A and B are shown apart, each in its own frame.
Chain A
Amino acid sequence: MKLKGTQILLKILEEENVEIIFGYPGGTVLDIYDCLYHSKLKHILVRHEQGAVHAADGYARATGKVGVCLVTSGPGATNTVTGIATANMDSIPIVVFTGQVPTGLIGNDAFQECDITGITRPCTKHNFLVRNIEELAATIKEAFHIARTGRPGPVLVDLPKNVMAEEIEYDPANIKIRNYEVFHKPAPKKMAQVFEMLFHAKKPLIMTGGGVILGKASLELTQLAQKYQIPVTGTLMGLGSFPGTDQLWQGMLGMHGTYYANMAVSHCDLLIAVGVRFDDRVTGTIETFASNAQIIQIDIDPSSINKNVVVDLPIIGETKATLKDLMKFLADHNYAPVPAQRKAWLAQIAEWKEKVPLTYCQNGKIIKPQYVIQKLHEVTKGDVIITTEVGQNQMWTAQFFSFDKPNTFISSGGLGTMGFGLPAAIGVKCAFPDKQVVDIAGDGSIQMNIQELATAAQYKINVKIVILNNGYLGMVRQWQELFYEKRYSYTDMTYAPDFVKLAEAYGIVGLRATKPEEVEAVLKEGLDMNKPVLMDFTVSREECVYPMVRPGASISEMTLDREITN
């Protein structure tokens, strides 16, 4: 069957079970859009290409499937870069299709030409410029394969206009793609070593990360911890990979980790790190990180091993298969912790927890941001998918909302991209229309992709937005308070739109709470409505996120609190 390039693209998207494309048209993709006009494929017209990528990214994080976007050449393509870099840092599988000028014009500075494969080379897992129609089908297939296999990541496919207009015989059976990935099956010898290390450990701790969620290994990790009563801490990206309401869960570690998680890491004698890359926000000073422990690191990507922290036992393998093998080995060899030892270790952590729990003080007439998050958890009973923006809002969410299931906390961890939460929430809601999806935002971040409110309104994508409105770029202000003697250089955001009116202008509902006693009612009203709703909470302006590990300090040295001033 002879097909045009545009038809081949849509055909393969169907074969790859793509349900939805987030995109924005323009000159070089007009032919593709014309083809879409007749197609059953669902397309969401975003209001900015960055929004398209974050939406595809949110969709991918929530479903574990590949998210897809389509944009035009030149400025359309460059607008995707922040989104692509965001997905790349968190290893999220997306495929971004960009239009390109006709091959004959490439290199001539043609109108809306830009070397997008050159620009995105350092922030994609891989990218392609399709040079002729013969390689089109295989390239698209390969793009999906590369995005979802191994350590996942974003793949960009640049599609010159003339290539897409050409015709060629299309036969799916004839498409050959390269198999690039070597899947490491960890050697049995390694399992024996883990057994040995666990056997001798008196104070083991599991550290779970994004790789557990991406590798769909939450169940195995949870079983391992529960069966052998090993306490668990996690990175930001690992939230939800172990039930947040379980007794063994110690909360997040690192710069804004809990006191007890950071103390546990600093005192454990065996750290089993699964699907983490030991980011500097997590480790604090490398020299003192888990300095009393032997470290086992399980990861699919050899380049993550020994990158920041030198480990005692690296295991390269898929997290799920590796944990399964490990469970089997431990069971076959009748591993069991010494009850008294394990009890003492758990009691020690409980003592730390009692000494310095995660807390805040909701008194007076001003809403505390943490209170809003706790109420949101209460009102939804945790049955919700949360996206966040970046800053204090993100950290308080990580601290005060407990996530019981994987793929329910969706946040830009590695790149820390403000403006991620709203478009990501739109992507999530498209995947799960019946789920409650809430973006927890700061008043700064929400303005970075606010235009996507129009997208939500147009398609009746009923996302909810909770703005913790402190009138500051709060997290930056916190650093200025703590490290720059309160010189608040350009972080005051009081000059902002009236968010309630703005919501209404976009055709969605806007609600506001300014007093603690209004919080619950506003949340309930907003969440119950079958419409996109923006809820603006006027919160305590100079609240800080605690505990905090100062940059350059060990994670056992935390600043716990400051005088409560209001």
Chain B
Amino acid sequence: MSEVAFDGVTKRFGDVTAVDQLTLSIRDGEFMVLLGPSGCGKTTALRMVAGLETVTEGTLRIGDRVVNDVEAKDRDVAMVFQSYALYPHVTVAKNIESPLVARRFDTGDGSPRKLTSAERAERVTEAAAALGLTDLLGRKPAALSGGQRQRVALARAMVARPAAFLMDEPLSNLDAKLRAQTRIELVELHERLATTFVYVTHDQVEAMTMADRIAVLSDGRLQQVGPPQAVYDRPHNLFVARFIGSPPMNTVPGTVVRSEGATSVRLGGQSIEVEGLAAEPLADGTEVIIGVRPEDLVVDAAGQVEAEVRAVEWLGHERLVVCDLAGHQITIRQAAGDDPVATGDVLPLTADPAKVHLFDPDTTERLN
């Protein structure tokens, strides 16, 4: 049970800044997902929490302790590695037991001590039962399926009853079906344990489905933190807007037009309304990037802009219509039952003004 707090944490490897001035507070019991593309520093951030990398600058707290100089074993965290890192030469039972062998645990009387072998066996049995591994305790990791190995790694993390679970892409070695199922199991496990989870992934579906809050990272910098829906609905900058959502948000450059009574954004001879724009301090002629998610673009006879259909992709339950809008490629997501469209059609499009996002082309920050 612990809060994990980064305060201005930086990690450099020689010239490479892997994590840059990260300030992020993960609440006690929260399921926090660190999300970002490959190389953005997610793993490094997680490894600093685990005590496997030193902190170059800033302070890192777990609970009310600054842990910059605390050894990994004394941090009371458990890590699930992407490779699972099971010891190949010993049984599942020994693997699960390994965090209990050398460390000291507070068993309630205030003075930490090593567990007796009976206590260890009891905890192993319990963790194995919780993850359905009871029948596999005598096997070696090589004799397990990918999913079973993954659960052994989880059991090994659970057994020490840590204050925080750290997971580095734990699902990436599973096939799609097992991954979907394990996502649900992880959420259940989180609820059952009521412990802080810090979960690293580059997969936005994992982030959206499991997180209490998502922290989006790019190039070692924190871009945005918030609940999945908030990050999806109000991305703070272009990076987040384009990274989250599949297919990604359509982004097209435009110009703000202010005239008596109406303020809108002009794109290539057409214009689109944006809610609340009149109230924004944006001067007439300001260059912006306008963003609309594929599902927020609606074909409507009264549409403000027109786009020509280039291709239609059928996905069974829905279709993606790729169009050309004033020389920019955009995607529209439609339900399978919507009126059919064909290549070459010109579609009048409209969007709920509340669902139109504006970004500054220079700073890439959100404007509305």
- Tell me whether A and B are bound partners: no
Q: What residues of chain A have their CB less than 8 Å away from a CB belonging to chain B?
A: none
Residues of B within 8 A of A (CB): none
